[in-house]
Amino acid sequence: EVQLVESGGGLVKPGGSLRLSCAASGFTFSTYSMNWVRQAPGKGLEWVSSISSSSNYNYYADSVKGRFTISRDNAKNSLYLQMNSLRAEDTAVYYCVREMVRGGIWGQGTLVTVSS
Amino acid sequence: QTVVTQEPSFSVSPGETVTLTCGLSSGSVSTSSYPSWYQQTPGQPPRTLIYNTNTRSSGVPDRFSGSILGNKAALTITGAQADDESDYYCVLYMGSGIWVFGGGTKLTVL
């Protein structure tokens, strides 16, 4: 069964940092690009970042550029999102999503709350 | 910045056909935008319905179909059912590795 499981969410103060992880199973992780997509409470979906299968390319939404870093470890079938300088507007459920062009698979999400 | 547009809400009666659209504030949607469609119910992650314009994801009923209509991507639900009542999101590829989601359409079936 194809599965994506996010972890690492929680409560963090403004200006703080958090690292999200996504564990993949049931498919050949190293052959797919991966994405992070977030959803603020009661709001729509927002694409955050993507990384190519071999980490050669990564891309970011303007809203997170310079603060967030996407990475992956194909040996561990894992995707990461390092989030620094967090703001209240970063509060959201963060989803790990397998390559959207090839039929995105979504994880259950992990909640990040930025509040003092 | 280009905005992806969707109808904020739509209402359909059971058994009717409804077409939701996904457009651009500037320009036209084409197959090169690789439009995808997602269905989301409250408290659940999104579920992929359609990707690459018109490819149905595994397990998705064939009453859901995707296409390009004019200058927009379209999701058509033929014979809407009560459990199709959900939020529907599209996403478009903008080039240079950037994806943009539409604001979503809240579909009511009554």
CA distance B24 to chain A (A): 16
pLDDT tens for A12-51 read 999 999 999 999 999 999 999 999 999 999 999 999 999 9
Q: Which pLDDT belongs to residue A102?
A: 87
Summarize the confidence of residues B75-80 as an average pLDDT.
97
Q: Which pLDDT belongs to residue B2?
A: 85
| Chain A from 3 to 62: CB within 8 A of any B CB | 35, 37, 44-47, 50, 57-59, 61-62
Nearest-CB residue to A44 (from B45, B97, B101): B101
pLDDT tens for B5-40 read 999 999 999 999 999 999 999 999 999 999 999 999
| Chain B from 2 to 31: CB within 8 A of any A CB | none
Quickly list DSSP for chain A: --EEEEE--EEE-TT--EEEEEEEESS-GGGS-EEEEEE-TTS-EEEEEEE-TTSS-EEE-TTTTTTEEEEEEGGGTEEEEEE-S--GGG-EEEEEEE-GGGT--B---EEEEE--
pLDDT tens for B79-91 read 999 999 999 999 9
